[in-house]
């Protein structure tokens, strides 16, 4: 299979102040799995959006099957055999599987026929789906199947996948890879974007590396190491966190049979979650998204209150207290959603710093803001956590995802919490910034605090946790030492197999 499928010639695209893509050229062969590598903001998303017709290049040309190719909208791309599975799924929770699939097709067959074809295709590729179920009731892995089946029903020649595995359990990843290899053997080319270099190494035939919108390198992933590919991406040495001895101190946080009903109709209620977090400990909580992570964070931050004794900080029962009181006592939280939850998007960095650190940093006096103190604190965050922003009065929204995340984590860490709870601390953050954030959290624990990290990134958890537990369907497995744990075991625990882990 050496026939060229898609040739990209000198694509460029500028946004105000940024050159997102600069003269990008490469080719994709029929039936190959081609990886696109790069840090956040390297221009990968813009590039695939141009191939899919969502964004129009300023310059350059593409050739598909020997013919000029320049889609003006996604429907044209789909007609010509280019499909895309999005990182943030383009699905509608209140609609059912068949309706969602219809919406993404150009020439959708009638309902009954479509239902039959969905079953056929989904079974043929090992991705079984029930056309009548509501998307809101499906797991994240099943939702991804819907996206993939939607593409497959249109007989694609090129399938673009943006970070497909970031939300899957290891077993689901294996299933996905089988499907992708089968597709590839049938001559479908796959353009694969991922931050997980080990996956790229096992799955992809070729890789193109982007940095600052330019193609800086190409390689054959099987011949490289994850480290060498990471260094191609960042264009320098990668600093790895060093291993640390863990000696547990006094008990800081205790959860006793914490139960909390979810308010979200598609959310998961917490059932009897118990754990003990000690000084110096970093506990990792793994689990597939939607298994109660959001609810756990809300219960700990104080946005939802529980029975008083369910949550104890240094022996003080504070389950019934709100976020302000908990912050004053030393229990701090940084939620997953950066814009709108962890930070107010249209408020400045100083205001966002003030809102969170008002009490602990004593940024107010008899109802008035201490402006200098507030500004100094904001500057401290920006300097210590290398937040790249033109100034302290810029709106939170104007920062890139990684920079805002560094700001959010820095803001909480610098308040010297007793216990810090973070949800997805490095979601969508590039390798270098993620390493910085992990290092900061571990340092915080080393200084005597306790950190609870909720994350779906197993590599991250295994790298930074001392103890480890899995949240599945709102229940938490018994925390165990992270030493000697392997990915297979965790995968089984994530599938809801809590008994095994409790005995382990």
Partner 1 sequence: MDFSTLNPVALIASLIMAATPILLAAIGELVVEKSGVLNLGVEGMMIIGAIAGFAISVETDSPWLGMLAAVLAGASLALIFGFLTQFLLSNQVATGLALTLFGLGLAALLGQSYSGMKPPSSLRLDIPVLSDLPIVGEMLFRHDFMVYFSLLIVVGVWFFLNRTRAGLVLRAVGENHNAAHSLGYNVVMIRMGAIAFGGACAGLGGAYVSLIRVPQWTEGMTAGAGWIALAIVVFASWKPWRVILGAYLFGGVTILQLNLQALGIGISAAYLSMTPYLITIIVMVIMSADRRRASLNAPASLGQIFHASH
Q: CB-hemisphere CA count at 13 Å for 364?
A: 13
Q: Tell me whether residue 267 or residue 479 sits nearer to partner 1 (CB atom).
A: 267
Q: Tell me whether residue 1 or residue 103 sits nearer to partner 1 (CB atom).
A: 103
Q: Tell me whether residue 51 or residue 229 sits nearer to partner 1 (CB atom).
A: 51
Q: What does the DSSP 8-state code read for residue 245?
A: -
Q: How many Cβ atoms from other residues are within 10 Å of residue 237's Cβ?
A: 9
55 binds partner 1 (CB under 8 A): yes
| Candidate segments 58-66, 91-99, 372-380, 381-389, binder of partner 1 by CB under 8 A | 91-99
Q: Tell me whether residue 265 or residue 367 sits nearer to partner 1 (CB atom).
A: 265
Nearest-angstrom CA–CA distance, 71 and 90: 19
Residue list 57-86, contact with partner 1 (CB under 8 A): 73-75, 78, 86
Q: Tell me whether residue 284 or residue 402 sits nearer to partner 1 (CB atom).
A: 402
DSSP H helical ranges for 86-204: 97-103, 111-124, 140-152, 170-185, 197-203
Nearest-angstrom CA–CA distance, 504 and 501: 5
Q: What are the tokens at 106?
A: 């150009």
Q: What are the tokens at 384?
A: 């210590």
In degrees and rounded to multiples of 5, residue 106 shows phi and psi of -80, -45
Find the binder of partner 1 among 34, 35, 44, 46 (CB under 8 A).
Answer: 46
Spatial CA neighbour of 198 closest among 427, 44, 37: 37
43 binds partner 1 (CB under 8 A): no
Say if CB 299 and CB 270 are below 8 A apart. yes
Find the binder of partner 1 among 31, 41, 104, 221 (CB under 8 A).
Answer: 104
Q: Tell me whether residue 89 or residue 177 sits nearer to partner 1 (CB atom).
A: 89
Q: Tell me whether residue 108 or residue 238 sits nearer to partner 1 (CB atom).
A: 108
| Candidate segments 94-102, 233-241, 388-396, 439-447, binder of partner 1 by CB under 8 A | 94-102
108 binds partner 1 (CB under 8 A): yes
Q: Tell me whether residue 264 or residue 386 sits nearer to partner 1 (CB atom).
A: 264
| Candidate segments 62-70, 260-268, 285-293, 429-437, binder of partner 1 by CB under 8 A | 260-268
40 binds partner 1 (CB under 8 A): no
Find the binder of partner 1 among 89, 214, 347, 459 (CB under 8 A).
Answer: 89
Cβ of residue 11: shortest distance to partner 1, in angstroms?
Answer: 14
Residues 6+ apart with CB under 8 A from 210: 24, 36, 37, 38, 42, 43, 44, 47, 216
Q: What does the DSSP 8-state code read for residue 137?
A: G
User: Is residue 180 classed exposed, middle or buried when 0-12, 13-18 and 19+ CB atoms within 10 A define those classes?
Assistant: buried
| Candidate segments 87-95, 277-285, 369-377, 412-420, binder of partner 1 by CB under 8 A | 87-95
Find the binder of partner 1 among 31, 43, 53, 302 (CB under 8 A).
Answer: 53
Say if CB 223 and CB 282 are below 8 A apart. no
Nearest-angstrom CA–CA distance, 335 and 331: 13
196 binds partner 1 (CB under 8 A): no
Q: What are the tokens at 366?
A: 């008899």
Say if CB 421 and CB 275 are below 8 A apart. no
Q: Tell me whether residue 108 or residue 115 sits nearer to partner 1 (CB atom).
A: 108
Q: Tell me whether residue 22 or residue 99 sits nearer to partner 1 (CB atom).
A: 99
Residues 6+ apart with CB under 8 A from 484: none
303 binds partner 1 (CB under 8 A): no
| Candidate segments 93-101, 185-193, 330-338, 458-466, binder of partner 1 by CB under 8 A | 93-101
Q: What are the tokens at 278?
A: 């000690």
Cβ of residue 43: shortest distance to partner 1, in angstroms?
Answer: 12
Q: What are the tokens at 464?
A: 């930074």
Q: What are the tokens at 157?
A: 């020649």
93 binds partner 1 (CB under 8 A): yes
Kindly tell me the sign of the dihedral angle through the C-alpha atoms of 485, 488, 491, 495.
negative
Find the binder of partner 1 among 8, 24, 42, 49 (CB under 8 A).
Answer: 49
Residues binding partner 1 (CB under 8 A): 46, 49, 53-55, 73-75, 78, 86, 88-95, 99, 102-104, 108, 263-265
């Amino acid at each position: 299979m050496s026939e060229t499928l898609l040739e990209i010639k000198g694509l460029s695209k500028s946004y105000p102040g940024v050159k997102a893509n600069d003269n990008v050229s490469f080719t994709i062969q029929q039936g190959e799995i081609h990886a696109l590598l790069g840090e956040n903001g390297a221009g990968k998303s813009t590039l695939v959006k141009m191939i899919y017709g969502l964004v129009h290049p300023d310059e350059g040309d593409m050739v598909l099957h020997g013919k000029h190719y320049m889609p003006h909208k996604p429907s044209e791309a789909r007609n010509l055999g280019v499909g895309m599975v999005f990182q943030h799924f383009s699905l509608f929770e209140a609609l059912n599987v068949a309706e969602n699939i219809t919406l993404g097709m150009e020439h959708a067959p009638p309902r009954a026929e479509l239902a039959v074809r969905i079953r056929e295709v989904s079974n043929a590729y090992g991705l079984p789906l029930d056309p009548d179920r509501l998307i809101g009731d499906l797991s994240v892995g099943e939702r991804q199947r819907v996206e993939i089946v939607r593409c497959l029903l249109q007989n694609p020649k090129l399938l673009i996948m943006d970070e497909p595995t970031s939300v899957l359990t290891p077993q689901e990843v294996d299933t996905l890879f089988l499907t992708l290899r089968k597709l590839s053997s049938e001559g479908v080319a796959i353009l694969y974007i991922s931050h997980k270099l080990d996956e790229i190494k096992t799955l992809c035939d070729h890789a193109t590396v982007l940095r600052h919108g330019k193609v800086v390198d190409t390689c054959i992933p099987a011949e490289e190491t994850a480290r060498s590919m990471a260094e191609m991406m960042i264009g320098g040495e990668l600093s790895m966190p060093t291993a640390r001895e863990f000696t547990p101190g006094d008990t800081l946080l205790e959860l006793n049979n914490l139960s909390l009903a979810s308010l979200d109709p598609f959310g998961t209620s917490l059932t009897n979650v118990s754990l003990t977090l000690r000084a110096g400990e970093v506990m990792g909580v793994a689990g597939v998204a939607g298994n109660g992570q959001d609810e756990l964070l809300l219960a700990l931050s104080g946005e939802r209150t529980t029975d008083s004794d369910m949550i104890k900080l240094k022996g003080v029962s504070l389950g019934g207290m709100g976020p302000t009181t908990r912050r004053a006592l030393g229990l701090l939280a940084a939620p997953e959603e950066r814009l709108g939850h962890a930070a107010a998007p249209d408020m400045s960095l100083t205001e966002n710093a003030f809102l969170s650190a008002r009490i602990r940093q004593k940024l107010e006096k008899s109802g008035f803001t201490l402006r200098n103190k507030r500004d100094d604190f904001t500057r401290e965050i920006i300097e210590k956590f290398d937040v790249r922003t033109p100034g302290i009065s810029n709106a939170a929204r104007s920062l890139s995802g990684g920079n805002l995340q560094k700001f959010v984590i820095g803001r909480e860490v610098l308040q010297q919490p007793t216990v810090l709870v973070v949800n997805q601390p490095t979601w969508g953050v590039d390798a270098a910034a993620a390493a910085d954030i992990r290092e900061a959290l571990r340092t915080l624990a080393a200084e005597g605090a306790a950190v609870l990290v909720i994350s779906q990134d197993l590599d991250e958890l295994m790298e930074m946790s001392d103890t480890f537990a899995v949240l599945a369907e709102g229940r938490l497995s018994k925390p165990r030492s992270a030493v000697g744990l392997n990915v297979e075991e965790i995968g089984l625990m994530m599938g809801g197999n809590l008994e095994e882990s409790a005995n382990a």
